[in-house]
Amino acid sequence: MGNNSSDFYPKISSRTIAALLALMALVIIQGSIFNWKPADDAYISFRYAANLVDGNGLVFNQGERVEGYTNFLWTILMALYGWVGLDIVLAGMWLSIICACTAVAITWMVARETARERDWPVWLVWIGPLLLACYPGWSYWAHSGMESPLFACLVMLFLFCGSRGPCSTKYFLLTALFGILAALTRWEAVILWPVIVIAQCFDGARPASKRYMRAGTLAVLLVIGFGSYFIGRMMYYGDVMSNTYYAKVGGALFSRVPRGLVYTGELAICWFMPLSIIPWLVRCKGRLSNILLAALGIYIFYVTWTGGDHFAWLRFYMPVLPIAAIMSTELVKCIAESSLLKNVPRVSQIIIPLAFLCLFVGASMRMDYISAQRHHDYVRWWKEVGQWSRNSFPSSYRLAVIPAGVIPYLSRNPILDLMGLTDREIAHFGEIDLSEAPGHQKSSTAVVLKRKPEIILGEALPFVYPPTVYDLLRRTNRKMLLKLYQMPEFQKLYDYKVVKIGTTYTAYWVLKGI
């Protein structure tokens, strides 16, 4: 290929644009059908952004510099929306929707280049974008108000631009830019940097000295760009890693990896990974194909090592789901070229990809829909609890909660995050319970008793009737809360209360004497 940009971006027909818009509309329509709204974790970033807009700094609680987020760029974008007077929650949801739709178009662009390397027929280029747009989890996280769709866009653009070997300086600079922006969105992007840096060393169109110089220059640009931010945040917060790292990464390797394998198993089942990777390896050829395979492999190893996630629909794998979708195209190609189908009528050849798509969507819905809907229902309930808290308690009262998103955002009260995501003491020195969900294994009853928050909402569970203490104990999911509620010292300090919010009841604890 030459350096002319038209080699990479031939004219796109109006039919192609219409088809891409239809796939984007499908992502939005799915969200409207299921009425997906921002996830609870999204409100953590929203609260940081709101405090920044209000002049309190990039903090969760005023006066407490704790880095309880891992999405700096996304949080700053939310603050920019707040500064111009837009609703942060609504703006965050729509920006994540736009990014998810953009990622579908980027997937098509990458699939088109992959098709040239692997000699796919034109119609196969659409398999990847179609799978991505039809995946229920893509629509779910598109409406989550979280940074995952933006991260997916930046990662794919970084890999795509980095695969352009003998091309202009423009692509080289774009590679560095997207690599830095991806790392500012989520730190995990750093583990993909070596893929592209090393790829610069295998550009046969350049002399060896220029290849190594290009790789070294790219590495320096990436390190300087991200390193400047990294040093700045260390000076501001005082920790080498974000507070969420200390809160989430705990326990022995033997306890994390099995959870990570189960989590990765969902990726393998829903996206037919073993069946798609094998033909990809057998027929693997071309620079972009190798880069996509390496990036996927590294990311699978990373997610498995960290223990996965407890949310529905593969949130941690969002940045590489476009790669999984493109690789699934190779499986569809193998099926279409199978000797069993050579004499099959053309109508049947159309039905087979549709059956593949139905199996893909059905498996995805079967595995995670109930979990996603349950979380959505809880967030809707926690919104009511957060608004009630704001109207019921003085703004100086500290609330102790486990759901650290929507309740703190709406209440605006100081918060004691019982899982330590936004609390330095619990994150660094909390007790680890390996039986809890990944990322929620640290807690500390000692911190609660020492700080004596005025209100303890705990999980803020909904009840259809006024719950007794024993009802609350039976419904409580966190062992830390069960232990806390039954401690004699706690019972001396707190009174048990029940409140009706709308048509639903919840229980909480109030510090005696206030």
Within 8 A by CB and 6+ apart from 224, the residues are none
**CA 420 to CA 440: how far, in whole Å?**
8
The amino acid that residue 264 corresponds to is T
**CA 203 to CA 205: how far, in whole Å?**
5
Q: What is the pLDDT of residue 204?
A: 67
- Residue 84: CB atoms within 10 A of its CB come to 8
Helix (H) or strand (E) holding 404: none
**3-state SS class at 18:** helix
Q: Which of 391, 434, 423, 384 is nearest to 407 (CA)?
A: 384
**3-state SS class at 442:** strand
pTM: 0.92
**CA 150 to CA 318: how far, in whole Å?**
10
Q: What is the pLDDT of residue 393?
A: 96
Beta carbons of 143 and 38 less than 8 angstroms apart: yes
Q: What is the pLDDT of residue 254?
A: 66
Q: What is the pLDDT of residue 356?
A: 72
The number of C-alpha atoms within 13 Å of 227 and in the hemisphere containing its C-beta is 6
Within 8 A by CB and 6+ apart from 43, the residues are 89, 145, 405, 406, 408, 409
**CA 374 to CA 382: how far, in whole Å?**
12
Distances (CA, A) of 85 to 55, 390, 487: 14, 22, 47
**3-state SS class at 452:** coil
Q: Which of 273, 284, 367 is nearest to 324 (CA)?
A: 273
Tokens of 153: 């866009």
Within 8 A by CB and 6+ apart from 378, the residues are 40, 403, 462
Phi, psi of 368 (to 5 degrees): -130, -5
Strands 494-501 and 442-443: what pairing? Answer: unpaired
Q: pLDDT per position in the chain (514 positions), as tens?
A: 334 444 444 568 899 999 999 999 999 999 999 999 999 999 999 999 999 999 999 999 999 999 999 999 999 999 999 999 999 999 999 999 999 999 999 999 999 999 988 888 888 899 999 999 999 999 999 999 999 999 999 999 999 999 986 567 888 999 999 999 999 999 999 999 999 999 988 876 777 888 889 899 999 999 999 999 999 999 999 999 999 888 876 555 667 788 889 999 989 988 888 888 888 888 767 889 999 999 999 999 999 988 888 888 999 999 999 999 999 988 888 877 765 556 666 655 567 677 777 878 888 888 889 989 999 999 999 999 999 999 999 999 999 999 999 999 999 999 999 999 999 999 999 988 877 776 678 899 999 999 999 999 999 999 999 999 999 988 988 888 999 998 999 999 999 999 999 999 999 999 998 8
| Count of residues in the chain | 514
Q: Mark residue 255 as left, alpha or beta (left: phi above 0; alpha: psi -120 to 50; beta: remaining).
A: alpha
Alpha carbon distance, N-terminus to C-terminus of the chain: 74
Beta carbons of 99 and 270 less than 8 angstroms apart: no
The amino acid that residue 335 corresponds to is I
